[in-house]
């Protein structure tokens, strides 16, 4: 047997140690929670089993933490990380903090925003890197990527320029950078000395492209970029009109990444190209929109891709990073990539080649009625497992929770068209099912390697979708109008789709009728500029338009526009028609319940070895409906679940504000805790001094529109 010389063994050990230092997330024993969603494969699984089916009913609150910074409709979506006994999380207004993971005692708190301002927004997590004594936390705040000292919480000012990387740079003309809206709500992934990041941007025409970029973890210099809207000479360029790369946007990896460190492959899942609901100006399949993409993590070079929906017209973004799993095929274990979708489908591929491990069929779908649209004649469907959300809407599915609700919805939909999934939008209106919120959402799926089962929280409610043509206009026209009329013109173009033409709101977007009771004009202007929570920034809105909008919202009849006309504000003539949505509206009855038969939110257990749904249950309830004898309906879900070796799935997500432990084999609730506000985040679990903890952020608010809060709850068995 060959034996290495003692000196060679020493050198090998040193090389291995250095490699481990430079790639500190390279191994995961499933007992820690050092990265977003627990491991590199985004599987939200833990091998901890101290808390199990038999004793979970004994769970108690071990500690709580409150950040003290709720505002408006703020929420918490952060899946915290736990490193060396320290829990790192994010508050409702993007303050990053470190806690003693055993006691919840605050160790430090960092505010990336001006204390006097109203900055803040959604953050789903953080990234950790270390090399010797250099230990760092990476966070996003609006368009900035920052590095913090993990021990002290101090910003590392040698990272990037003036202490941050500006995500707006390098995407279009940097001379107009102040007009660009971009942020990142999901954490970057660390690979050796790189942090690989995605982004969120606007979903209208002229939005920025969603390029995937890698930066040096030490100095913030960009090391590579992958263009998700291909440029001339790049693979996929021929799936767009020739000049589209100059103006096309979206196709962004907004949900984060998974990574196979041994193979050196990073996996991304991308969103739709913009505008989301009409593609007359982007004829073709539109790579790399709505695609699973495998890239060389060191260089960003393309390896393989699969487009889950072609030429998307339904806002069917891929909502979560691909799960990296191992499943059985023909009696052998195969490393795979599994992608859940808003359509309620699961696609499974070979990790190295992208070859489908479950056959995929291209099936015919309806043609668009829009004269300037060229939707794809087919869309891909895996032959199994079956969809975990409904794929067809018709009158037989109209809600039956009461006769009044049924009649109301029947009247509401009488002028809409509807049918199977991929029914194309048009100006007369359609009922879209699945709707914008899934199927699966950003919370993704938890995967149990013990059983090969995937656990997915799913939404199952329709949207009303109606296109309205956008007429070219002269932005300087507002100077010829009374200020409130000018404000209404700006509002109808930019705000009405979400907040309603009458300012009364479109659930879950709030009414603006009483905005003066909540905000000052200065605060409202800052939110328009920077965005907040679910609202994007409207930084590109001309100054005079912002003034007119503020005048409308606060009924400032006597105010006058102080901004001057600009030669740059000219009529924009587009070669093709452009459209907007009448409203981002879910189909609801007069009482606020969904217009389709329950269940409206479900938890699904899917066996990926067998390709079948093992169990499905409603998740969440409306107590007032339960009292009327209506079985548990489920609610809209935001926030993910985790699965443990103790036989449990832990999940909040439902708008009844409960945190539940569910038997992973049967779907039965074994324990539940009534949170003070909704837990719309993915939990984490970890062990300190032999004691297992389960922690979840509870911020309420968000798209659920329930009351807001600023809590982190940790649970454990009695000592």
Quick one: pLDDT at residue 320?
98
3-state secondary structure 18-44: HHHHHCCCCCCCCCCECCHHHCCCCCC
510 and 364 both lie in a single domain: no
287-322: pLDDT as tens digits: 999 999 999 999 999 999 999 999 999 999 999 999
For range 457-463, the mean pLDDT: 97
123 and 188 both lie in a single domain: yes
Q: Is 480 helix (H, G, I), strand (E, B) or coil?
A: helix
Quick one: pLDDT at residue 17?
36
669-702: pLDDT as tens digits: 999 999 999 999 999 999 999 999 999 999 999 9
Q: Count Cβ atoms below 10 Å from residue 262 Cβ, excluding itself.
A: 10
Q: Count Cβ atoms below 10 Å from residue 132 Cβ, excluding itself.
A: 8
**Last residue in a domain, options 571, 600, 616:** 571
Least confident of 20-29, 114-123, 137-146, 523-532: 20-29
For range 353-358, the mean pLDDT: 98
- CB of 625 within 8 A of CB of 634? no
Quick one: pLDDT at residue 566?
56
431-443: pLDDT as tens digits: 999 999 999 999 9
Query: What is the domain count for the chain?
Result: 2
392 and 506 both lie in a single domain: no
> Across the chain, what does the average pLDDT equal?
91
For range 392-408, the mean pLDDT: 98
Query: How far is the C-alpha of 183 from the C-alpha of 200, rounded, in Å?
Result: 5
- pLDDT exceeds cutoff 70 at 327: yes
Query: How far is the C-alpha of 639 from the C-alpha of 42, rounded, in Å?
Result: 14
233 and 145 both lie in a single domain: yes
In this structure, what CATH number is given to the domain that contains residue 655?
2.140.10.10
What does DSSP assign to residue 387? P
Domain assignment present for residue 52? The answer is yes
Domain assignment present for residue 18? The answer is no
238 and 275 both lie in a single domain: yes
Beta strands in 254-413 (DSSP E): 257-260, 265-269, 291-296, 302-307, 323-329, 332-340, 346-350, 360-364, 378-382
For range 516-545, the mean pLDDT: 78
Chain position carrying tokens 């010797």: 132
94-113: pLDDT as tens digits: 999 999 999 999 999 999 99
Domain assignment present for residue 362? The answer is yes
Query: How far is the C-alpha of 191 from the C-alpha of 129, rounded, in Å?
Result: 9
- Of residues 265 and 524, more confidence is placed in 265
9-49: pLDDT as tens digits: 333 333 333 333 445 444 566 889 999 999 999 999 999 99
Phi, psi of 176 (to 5 degrees): -110, 25
pLDDT confidence tier of residue 494, bands split at 50, 70 and 90 = confident
> In percent, how much of the chain has pLDDT > 90?
76
Quick one: pLDDT at residue 15?
36
Q: What is the DSSP string of 281-309?
A: TS-S--TTTTEEEEEETTT--EEEEEESS
104 and 140 both lie in a single domain: yes
- pLDDT exceeds cutoff 80 at 260: yes
563 and 678 both lie in a single domain: no
- pLDDT exceeds cutoff 50 at 394: yes
Query: How far is the C-alpha of 648 from the C-alpha of 665, rounded, in Å?
Result: 8
221 and 116 both lie in a single domain: yes
Domain that holds residue 375: 36-466+588-716
- pLDDT exceeds cutoff 80 at 449: yes
Cis bond before residue 275 (omega within 30° of 0): yes
- If we measure between CA atoms, which residue out of 331, 316, 330, 324 comes closest to residue 286? 316
Domain assignment present for residue 102? The answer is yes
331 and 183 both lie in a single domain: yes
336 and 434 both lie in a single domain: yes
What H or E segment, with its residue span, contains residue 98?
Answer: strand 96-100
The two tokens of residue 78 are 């952060």
b/e map of 364-382 (b: 16 or more CB within 10 Å)? ebeebebeebebbeebbbb
- CB of 550 within 8 A of CB of 525? yes
Quick one: pLDDT at residue 503?
85
Does this model's pTM top 0.85? My answer is yes
- CB of 147 within 8 A of CB of 188? no
What does DSSP assign to residue 666? T
Rg of the chain over Cα atoms, rounded to whole angstroms, equals 25
- pLDDT exceeds cutoff 50 at 717: yes
**Biggest distance spanned by C-alpha atoms of the chain:** 92
For range 472-496, the mean pLDDT: 81
596 and 627 both lie in a single domain: yes
Quick one: pLDDT at residue 564?
67
> What is the number of helices (H) and of strands (E) in the chain?
7, 41
Query: How far is the C-alpha of 316 from the C-alpha of 297, rounded, in Å?
Result: 26
In this structure, what CATH number is given to the domain that contains residue 506?
1.10.760.10
The two tokens of residue 546 are 């912002």
Domain assignment present for residue 151? The answer is yes
Domain assignment present for residue 1? The answer is no
pLDDT confidence tier of residue 116, bands split at 50, 70 and 90 = low
- CB of 694 within 8 A of CB of 41? no
For range 580-591, the mean pLDDT: 94
**Last residue in a domain, options 511, 540, 571:** 571
Quick one: pLDDT at residue 247?
93
614-664: pLDDT as tens digits: 999 999 999 999 999 999 999 999 999 999 999 999 999 999 999 999 999
Domain assignment present for residue 440? The answer is yes
Query: How far is the C-alpha of 40 from the C-alpha of 36, rounded, in Å?
Result: 8
Query: How far is the C-alpha of 495 from the C-alpha of 502, rounded, in Å?
Result: 10
Query: How far is the C-alpha of 337 from the C-alpha of 415, rounded, in Å?
Result: 42
Quick one: pLDDT at residue 9?
37
Domain assignment present for residue 215? The answer is yes
552-580: pLDDT as tens digits: 888 887 787 877 665 444 555 567 889 99
Alpha-carbon distance values, 431 to 257, 379, 419 (Å): 32, 19, 8
542 and 686 both lie in a single domain: no
401-429: pLDDT as tens digits: 999 999 999 999 999 999 999 999 999 99
**Last residue in a domain, options 538, 571, 604:** 571
- CB of 626 within 8 A of CB of 640? no
In sequence order, the β-bridge partners of residue 106 are 99
- If we measure between CA atoms, which residue out of 439, 447, 273, 270 comes closest to residue 341? 439
- Of residues 371 and 1, more confidence is placed in 371
Q: Name, in order, each residue with C-beta under 8 angstroms of 548's C-beta and a sequence gap of 6 or more.
A: 478, 483, 486, 487, 489, 490, 561
């Amino acid at each position: 047997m060959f034996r290495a010389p003692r000196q060679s063994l020493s050198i090998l050990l040193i090389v291995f140690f250095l490699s481990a230092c430079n790639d500190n997330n390279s191994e995961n024993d499933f007992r820690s929670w050092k990265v977003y969603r627990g491991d590199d494969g985004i599987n939200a699984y833990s091998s901890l089993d101290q808390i199990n089916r038999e004793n979970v009913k004994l769970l108690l609150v071990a500690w709580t933490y409150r950040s003290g910074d709720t505002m408006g409709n703020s929420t918490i979506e952060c899946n915290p990380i736990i490193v060396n006994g320290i829990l790192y999380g994010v508050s409702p207004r993007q303050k990053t903090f470190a806690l003693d993971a055993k006691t919840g005692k605050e160790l430090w708190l960092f505010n990336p925003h001006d204390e006097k301002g109203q900055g803040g927004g959604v953050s789903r997590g953080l990234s950790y890197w270390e090399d010797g004594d250099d230990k760092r936390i990476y966070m996003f705040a609006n368009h900035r990527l920052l590095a913090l000292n993990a021990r002290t919480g101090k910003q590392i000012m040698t990272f990037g320029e003036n202490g941050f990387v500006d995500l707006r740079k390098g995407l279009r003309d940097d001379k107009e950078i102040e007009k660009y809206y971009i942020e990142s709500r999901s954490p970057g992934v660390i690979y050796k000395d790189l942090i690989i990041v995605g982004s969120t941007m606007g979903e209208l025409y002229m939005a920025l492209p969603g390029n995937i970029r890698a930066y040096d973890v030490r100095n913030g210099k960009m090391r590579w970029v992958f263009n998700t809207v291909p440029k001339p000479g790049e693979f996929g360029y021929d799936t767009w009109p020739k000049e589209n790369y100059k103006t096309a946007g979206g196709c962004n990896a907004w949900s984060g990444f998974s990574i196979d460190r041994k193979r050196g492959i990073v996996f991304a899942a991308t969103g739709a190209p913009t505008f989301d609901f009409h593609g007359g100006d982007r004829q073709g399949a539109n790579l790399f929109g709505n695609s699973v993409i495998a890239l060389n993590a060191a260089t960003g070079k393309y390896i393989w891709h699969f487009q889950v929906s072609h030429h998307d017209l339904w806002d069917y973004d891929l909502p979560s990073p691909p799960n990296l799993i191992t499943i059985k095929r023909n009696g052998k274990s195969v490393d795979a990539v599994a992608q859940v979708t808003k359509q309620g489908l699961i696609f499974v591929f070979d990790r190295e080649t992208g070859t489908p491990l479950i056959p995929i069929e291209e099936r015919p779908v309806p043609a668009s009625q829009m004269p300037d649209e060229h939707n794809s004649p087919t869309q891909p469907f895996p032959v199994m497992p079956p969809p975990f959300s409904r794929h067809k809407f018709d009158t037989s599915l109209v809600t039956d929770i009461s006769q009044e609700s049924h009649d109301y919805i029947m009247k509401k939909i009488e002028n809409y068209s509807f049918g199977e999934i991929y029914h194309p939008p048009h100006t007369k209106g359609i009922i879209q099912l699945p709707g914008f919120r899934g199927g699966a959402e950003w919370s993704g799926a938890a995967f149990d390697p013990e059983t090969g089962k995937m656990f997915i929280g799913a939404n199952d409610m329709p949207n009303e979708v109606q296109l309205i043509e956008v007429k070219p206009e002269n932005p300087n026209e507002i100077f010829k109008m009374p200020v409130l009329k000018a404000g209404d013109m700006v509002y109808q173009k930019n705000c009405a789709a979400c907040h309603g033409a009458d300012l009364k709101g479109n659930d879950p977007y709030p009414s603006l009728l009483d905005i003066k009771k909540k905000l000052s004009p200065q605060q409202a202007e800052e939110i328009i500029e920077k965005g907040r929570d679910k609202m994007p920034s409207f930084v590109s809105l001309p100054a005079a338009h912002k003034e007119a909008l503020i005048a409308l919202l606060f009924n400032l009849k006597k105010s006058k526009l102080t901004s001057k006309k600009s030669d740059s504000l000219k009529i924009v003539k587009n070669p093709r028609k452009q459209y907007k949505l009448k409203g981002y509206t879910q189909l609801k009855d007069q009482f606020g319940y969904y217009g389709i038969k329950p269940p409206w939110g479900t938890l699904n257990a899917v066996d990926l070895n067998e390709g079948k749904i093992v169990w499905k249950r409603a998740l969440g309830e409306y107590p007032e409906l339960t009292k009327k004898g209506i079985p548990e309906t489920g609610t809209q879900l935001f926030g993910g679940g985790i699965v443990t070796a103790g036989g449990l799935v832990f999940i909040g997500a439902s708008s009844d504000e409960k945190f539940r432990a569910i038997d992973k084999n049967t779907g039965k609730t074994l324990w539940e805790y009534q949170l003070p506000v909704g837990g719309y985040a993915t939990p984490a679990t970890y062990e300190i001094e032999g004691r297992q903890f389960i922690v979840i952020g509870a911020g309420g608010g968000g798209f659920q529109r329930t009351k807001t809060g600023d809590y982190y709850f940790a649970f454990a068995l009695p000592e």
